[in-house]
Amino acid sequence: MAKAKKRYVCQACGSVTTRWQGQCVDCAEWNTLVEEAAQVSTVFAAKHDLQGGGRTVELLGLDANVALPERIASGLAEFDRAVGGGIVPGSAMLVGGDPGVGKSTLLLQVAAKVAERGLPVIYVSGEEAADQVRLRALRLGLGRSPVRLAAATSVRDILTTVGDAPPALLVIDSIQTMHSDLIEGAPGTVSQVRASAHELIRFAKERGTALILVGHVTKDGSIAGPRVLEHMVDAVLGFEGDRSHQYRILRANKNRFGGTDEIGVFAMEGAGLAEVPNPSALFLTDRGEPVSGTSVFPAMEGTRPVLLELQALTVRLASGATPRRSAVGWDSGRLAMVLAVLEARCGLSFASCEVYLNVAGGYRLQDPGADLAVAAALVSALSERPVPAGAVALGEIALSGEIRPVAHAPLRLKEAAKLGFDSAWVPAGIDGPATLKLERFAHLRQLVDRILGR
Ligand code: TYD
Ligand code: MG
């Protein structure tokens, strides 16, 4: 037998080299290469080949009478929406999120809902003992639900046990605790995560079981373990939220079977996650009655929309001292520009006022698309007339005072509608979801007139 070659696997990106180096050549991370043993056997893997053995089938056939598996709707509408209308049998899904955000809670609830529809469901916990999961289920009021529980970390054990009667849904909490004996190494290392996921996914595709893997997220927000995990699954969902806030948002980052622009909104309560079909209620109570000087801007965070509150304050100075202009979370040059356009093109005067602008929540905004929302907050602060609480504003302001369109407007407006806003102030020529009343502005003067009620 040939001597097993040494291999070094980058724990950040999964790339493999035969020589140790301080820095990974692929992802440029430092000190991430770890020696790992090569694959020891493929006998077990060979038994689990995808059915079909290379035969081809027609895409749909002329009579389209092919019985296609139906999506499993869990009945948790916010979850089903985020995954694109239900779980696809035979698909593999990865749910990532910070520790304690509520992944186990969410998936236990989903598992219970699916089981209550009469489908066989197995929930495997590699982190908690079966009794702990049971206790949690009792707290969640799911004590009577026919979910089968297992506390296991060996992929071979799990597949041998469930192999006789493959469930409709198999939840693995979490993939970082799983261990495959096809490969040496501790659970949680890149090669273990990859090998375990590979075996589980292969099983799922072969037997038509829907598989949900829970994945931990590292500090920088990516799912721990190899990036390849994200390529191996059909859908990657992120469960986001701040532990000090009630809100949790489930968002698809990748979905082979649905769109990625739908989100599911939940609130973490004493008895688990509650669906929030109309987030506006909670979101707007946070904002309270409309106050002058605030506006809401649908920003983009990477490829995702996020709604931000902009706050402006103007303080009239009695003396002739030079008034301060201060911006937190927004470019002060851009603030000066918006003020100049308001003065030169719309006839407003901020000359004797100190002006403060703040992006709530400590965000740093760099998007020029926020100009219109900034202008709305400023005019509202100056005139002490509030912007309607249900309105968002987006648009870039040109030096001429004209309002220009911004990128990803449909996505931003969809998010605003989803979060319960009912109107949007936008540049001319922009369309949005039917539930949003659009007010189009070609020139900044029209926005000023709108706020001043002229
Ligand atoms: P959990 O689902 O264990 O998080 P994860 O699996 O993502 O690590 O959720 C843990 C948090 O949720 C915990 O801090 C307490 C909170 N929680 C509630 O507020 N209410 C509940 O009913 C449950 C089960 C948890
Ligand atoms: Mg957990």
pLDDT digits (tens, 9 = 90+) for 145-171: 899 999 999 999 999 999 889 999 999
Over range 225-240, report the average pLDDT. 84
Examine the domain organization and report whether 110 and 172 are in the same domain: yes
Q: What is the CATH number of the domain that holds 152?
A: 3.40.50.300
With respect to residue 59, please indicate whether it lies within any of the assigned structural domains. no
Q: Is the distance from CB of 303 to CB of 293 less than 8 angstroms?
A: no
CB 270 within 8 A of CB 263: no
Can you name the residues that pair with 440 across neighbouring β-strands?
426
Name the 3-class secondary structure at 135: helix
Ligand 1 atom with the shortest distance to the CA of 106: 2
User: Are residues 22 and 87 located together in one domain of the fold?
Assistant: no
Cα dist. 412→56, 149, 297, 420 in Å? 42, 41, 9, 13
Higher per-residue confidence, 419 vs 399: 399
Distance CA 83, CA 239 (A): 12
Binding pocket residue ranges, ligand 1, CB within 6 Å: 97, 99-105, 136, 139-140, 268, 270-272
Alpha carbons 333 and 327: distance in angstroms, whole number = 9
**pLDDT, position 45:** 45
Verify that 251 and 332 share a domain, yes or no.
no
**Residue 366 CA, ligand 1 centroid: distance in Å:** 34
Across 107-111, 275-279, 417-421, least confident range = 275-279
Per cent of the chain over pLDDT 90 is: 50
pLDDT of residue 308: 85
**Residue 184, C-beta contacts closer than 8 angstroms, at least 6 positions apart:** 36, 37, 40
Contact present, 267 and 373 (Cβ < 8 Å): no
Look at ligand 1, atom 15, and give the residue with the nearest C-alpha: 100
CATH number, domain with residue 375: 3.30.230.10
Ligand 1, atom nearest to 105 Cα: 2
User: Residue 364: what pLDDT?
Assistant: 73
Residues of the domain holding 333: 282-452
Is 420 domain-assigned? Answer: yes
Nearest-CA residue for atom 14 of ligand 1: 100
Burial 378-394 (b: 16+ CB within 10 A, else e): bbbbbbeebbebbbbbb
Average pLDDT, the chain: 85
Total domains, the chain: 3
Give CA separation, 417 vs 152, 391, 408, in Å.
Answer: 43, 10, 14
The answer on 300 and 239 residing in a single domain is: no
The 8-class DSSP code of residue 177 comes to: G
pLDDT at 203 over 90: yes
The answer for residues whose C-beta is within 8 angstroms of residue 124's C-beta and 6 or more apart is 149, 150, 151, 152, 158, 170, 171, 172, 173
Domain boundary among 228, 255, 277: 277
- Name the closest-CA residue to atom 21, ligand 1: 272
The protein residue whose alpha carbon is closest to atom 9 in ligand 1 is 102
In a domain, 46, yes or no: no
- At 75, list the tokens: 């009945």
For residue 227, pLDDT beyond 90: no
244, 277, 310: which is the final residue of a domain?
277
Co-location of 127 and 143 in the same domain: yes
Instruction: Check whether 19 has a pLDDT greater than 70.
Output: yes
The amino acid that residue 61 corresponds to is G
Instruction: Indicate whether 115 and 257 sit together in one domain.
Output: yes
Ligand 1: distance of its center to the CA of 248 in Å?
A: 11
Q: Does residue 47 fall inside a structural domain? A: no
**Centre of ligand 2 from the C-alpha of residue 106, in Å:** 9
Tell which wins on pLDDT, 440 or 249.
440
In tens, the pLDDT along 173-191 reads 989 999 998 888 788 788 8
Q: Does residue 56 lie within any of the structural domains? A: no
Among protein residues, the one whose CA lies closest to atom 24 of ligand 1: 272
Expressed in angstroms and rounded, the spacing between residue 177 Cα and the centre of ligand 2 is: 11
CA 291 to centroid of ligand 2, rounded, Å: 40
Distance from the CA of 139 to the center of ligand 1, in angstroms?
A: 11
| Average pLDDT rounded to a whole number, residues 228-255 | 84
Of all ligands present, the nearest one to the C-alpha of 172 is: 2
Q: Are residues 273 and 139 in the same domain?
A: yes
416: its two tokens: 């605003």
pLDDT at 446 over 80: yes
Q: Tens of pLDDT along 394-414?
A: 999 999 999 999 999 998 999
Q: Nearest ligand, CA of residue 95?
A: 1
Question: Residue 123 and residue 338: Cα distance in Å, rounded?
Answer: 55
Verdict on whether the full-model pTM lies above 0.85: no
Quote the CA–CA distance of 442 and 427 in Å, as a whole number.
6
**Which residues have a Cβ under 8 Å from the Cβ of 395 and sit 6 or more positions away?**
369, 371, 372, 403, 404, 405, 406, 425, 426, 427, 441
Atom from ligand 1 closest to the CA of residue 101: 7
Q: Is residue 231 part of a domain?
A: yes
Helix (H) or strand (E) holding 82: helix 77-82
Rounded-to-integer distance, Cα 235 and Cα 85, Å = 13
Whether 353 and 259 map to the same domain: the answer is no
Mutate which of 105, 216, 217 for ligand 1 pocket (most atoms within 8 A of beta carbon): 105
Rounded Cα–Cα distance for residues 303 and 253 (Å): 9
User: Which pLDDT belongs to residue 42?
Assistant: 47
Distance CA 282, CA 280 (A): 5
Q: Are residues 27 and 145 in the same domain?
A: no
